[in-house]
């Protein structure tokens, strides 16, 4: 998916429909010249509704939608006829969409399952017709209620990719190569930093027909939590991952130091990320012979599960999938 087609942040104005006015009609027929009040109620204004759609992966379809306006309710009629409700507007969004108030940035709701619906803004109630105001001392009320006004509010919609495992690493650490090797995803792969400019998702086949979803997040650099590079924009996608797979290449100058920098960036962005299950994969290990691999293992963090892998030769890939599966189902 190209950067131009991946939209994960939009700002829209929503306006629910105004309620229809109640009718103040008085019944007047040939043989009932003083038939009394028979005005119907006004219809409810249209709601603004958010619905989860698992077939959507981005907010691209809303890119040019700046205003979402529901229809007002119809006014009441004679013979106690109620007005029709205004048509609701349903906004379909991908799973993992978070809605925030555009002024306060307070989280309003989130969509996480297929078909899940929330009324974002309720339409105004319809006004009561004059039939409701008839009393023993007021037999012919010639007034009715107006409809309630609709609501108007600006919202921010943010997409946080839903995946079981997220790949975390510096640019060119081999994240896209791994995703391409274990799934049918076709991320852009090249020998230069920041090849991945948008998150890529892949379904990884596991044993006995089981599978899990892996997300390749654009590379993080030191200072990403302060807005350096492009990591800050995509760090929020990691919040939804059950397992974080840290990836450091075997030819790195200091594997421990690189891992600590990555961990620090996540901690600075959101300390809650440190509570997630973690694995460390040392990539490009096809460049090392057995003796160098053993020597490398002695320098790795002792408090973290580590796997030596090569996406090119397949070294350690099955072991990695086994460990990821266990982590997913223990978290």
Q: Which of 287, 279, 275, 274 is nearest to 306 (CA)?
A: 279
Q: Which of 141, 159, 177 is the last residue of a domain?
A: 159
Based on the structure, what is the number of domains in the chain? 2
Residue 147 and residue 171 in one domain: no
Average pLDDT, the chain: 85
Residue 68 and residue 213 in one domain: no
The two structure tokens encoding residue 197: 């400019």
pLDDT at 197: 52
Contact 67, 12 (CB under 8 A): yes
Residue 227 and residue 128 in one domain: no
Contact 282, 307 (CB under 8 A): yes
Q: Which of 124, 159, 194 is the last residue of a domain?
A: 159
Q: Which of 130, 159, 188 is the last residue of a domain?
A: 159
Report the CATH number at residue 273.
3.40.50.300
Does pLDDT of 225 surpass 50? no
Residue 150 and residue 224 in one domain: no
Residue 130 and residue 202 in one domain: no
The string of pLDDT tens digits covering residues 264-316 is 888 888 888 888 899 999 998 887 888 888 888 877 877 789 999 998 888 99
* Residue the block writes with tokens 């006995």: 208
Residue 175 and residue 154 in one domain: no
The string of pLDDT tens digits covering residues 188-200 is 554 544 444 567 7
The string of pLDDT tens digits covering residues 39-57 is 999 999 999 999 999 888 7
Question: What domain range is 74 assigned to?
Answer: 1-159
pLDDT at 120: 96
């Amino acid at each position: 998916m190209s950067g131009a087609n991946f939209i994960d942040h939009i700002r829209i104005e929503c306006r629910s429909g105004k309620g229809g006015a109640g009718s103040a009609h008085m019944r007047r027929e040939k043989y009932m010249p003083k038939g009394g009040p028979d005005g119907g109620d006004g219809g409810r204004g249209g709601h603004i509704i958010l619905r989860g759609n698992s077939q959507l992966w981005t907010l691209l379809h809303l890119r040019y939608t700046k205003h979402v306006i529901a229809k007002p309710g119809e006014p009441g009629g004679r013979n106690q006829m109620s007005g029709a409700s205004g048509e609701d507007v349903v906004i379909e969004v991908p799973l993992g969409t978070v809605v925030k108030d555009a002024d306060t940035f307070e989280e309003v709701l989130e969509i996480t399952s297929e078909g899940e619906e929330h009324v974002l803004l309720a339409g105004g109630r319809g006004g009561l017709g004059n039939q409701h105001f008839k009393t023993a001392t007021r037999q012919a009320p010639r007034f009715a209620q107006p409809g309630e006004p609709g609501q108007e509010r600006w919202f921010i919609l943010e997409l946080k990719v839903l995946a079981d495992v997220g790949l975390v690493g510096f640019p060119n650490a081999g994240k896209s190569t791994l995703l391409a090797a274990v799934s049918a995803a076709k991320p852009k792969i090249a020998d230069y930093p920041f090849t991945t400019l948008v998150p890529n998702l892949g379904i990884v086949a596991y044993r006995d027909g089981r599978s899990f979803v892996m997300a390749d997040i654009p590379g993080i650099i030191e200072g990403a939590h302060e807005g350096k590079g492009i990591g800050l924009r995509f760090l929020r996608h990691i919040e939804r991952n059950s397992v974080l797979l840290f990836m450091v290449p075997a030819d790195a100058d200091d594997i421990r130091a690189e891992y600590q920098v990555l961990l620090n960036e996540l901690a600075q962005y959101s300390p809650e990320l440190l509570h997630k299950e973690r694995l460390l994969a040392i990539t490009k290990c096809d460049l090392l012979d057995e003796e160098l691999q053993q020597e490398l293992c002695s320098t790795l963090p002792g408090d973290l599960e580590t796997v030596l892998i090569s996406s090119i030769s397949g070294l350690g890939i099955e072991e990695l999938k086994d460990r990821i599966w266990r982590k997913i189902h223990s978290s």
